[in-house]
Amino acid sequence: MSRYRGPRLRVVRRLGDLPGLTRKNARRAYPPGQHGQNRRKRSEYAIRLEEKQKLRFNYGVSEKQLIRYVRRARRATGSTGLALLQMLEMRLDNTVFRLGMAGTIPGARQLVNHGHVTVNGRVVDIPSYQCRPGDVVGVKDQERSRNLVKANMEYPGLANLPSHLEFDKNTLVGKVNSVIDREWIALTINELLVVEYYSRMA
């Protein structure tokens, strides 16, 4: 299975709050399925798998893509877990989401795929494009693109703009000033468990 297209709240009930996947809140607090309310002791493997699945579903990446990110994070200096989170956060679709131009990461991905987003003045339609410090992220100079983003901005996914970004709501232009800091990552996750999960296979 590549990208998940099923019920999002089902995933949220199983894995907990995923701010990038959906703005809705699950009515039931227990996991889905016939045995969702039964308390069960989870193995260490199950806990690591769950943390890995949080990353996959929140950022909307396939298993293959996530393994590639893990390998790149291992080659980076410093903490592998932090490098992995920063790479995922600096994707163009996530940057568009964090700027408030879309309510969810899937919504941001659609904006990018359909050519409504520019980077440094040029249309970029690749959601996995890695934003770098100094990049200017804007909206294509077309009325339809601007109206789409303005409509999305009325219902932002997250209230606070991270410290590494700045955004002008009048011109609909954002700027990436630096790489995101760990405390601004909205997803509640233990990235070390993800690194451990892949340590034997990636």
Distance separating alpha carbons of residues 60 and 5, to the nearest angstrom? 10
pLDDT: which is higher, 179 or 7 = 179
Whether residue 83 is found in the same domain as residue 95: no
Asked if pLDDT for residue 156 goes beyond 80, the answer is no
Question: Which pLDDT belongs to residue 93?
Answer: 93
- pLDDT for 104 equals 86
2: in domain: no
Q: Residue 193: is its pLDDT beyond 60? A: yes
* Residue 1 placed within a domain: no
The pLDDT score that the predictor gives to residue 117 is 95
Q: Is residue 59 domain-shared with residue 115, that is, in the same domain?
A: no
Domain that holds residue 145: 91-178
CATH number of the domain within which 52 lies? 1.10.1050.10
Residue 14 has pLDDT above 90, yes or no: no
Is residue 37 located within the same domain as residue 100? no
Identify whether residues 129 and 142 lie together within a single domain: yes
Say whether both 46 and 24 belong to one domain.
yes
Q: Are 23 and 61 in a shared domain?
A: yes
Which one has a higher pLDDT value, 45 or 31? 45
Single-letter residue type at 43: S
Q: Examine the domain organization and report whether 76 and 103 are in the same domain.
A: no
Q: Is residue 21 part of a domain?
A: yes
CA dihedral (42, 48, 53, 54) positive or negative: positive
Domain assignment present for 117 = yes
Min mean pLDDT across 90-94, 145-149, 185-189 is at 185-189
Range in 37-46, 94-103, 128-137 the model is least confident about? 37-46
Q: Does residue 29 belong to any structural domain of this protein?
A: yes
pLDDT tops 80 at residue 118: yes
Residues 20 and 97 sit within 8 Å (Cβ to Cβ): yes
CATH of the domain at 135: 3.10.290.10
| Mean pLDDT, the chain, integer | 83
97, 172: one domain: yes
Give the pLDDT of residue 113: 94
- Given pLDDT bands bounded at 50, 70 and 90, which one contains residue 34? very low
Count the domains in the chain: 2
What is the C-alpha to C-alpha distance for residues 164 and 145, in angstroms, rounded to an integer? 25
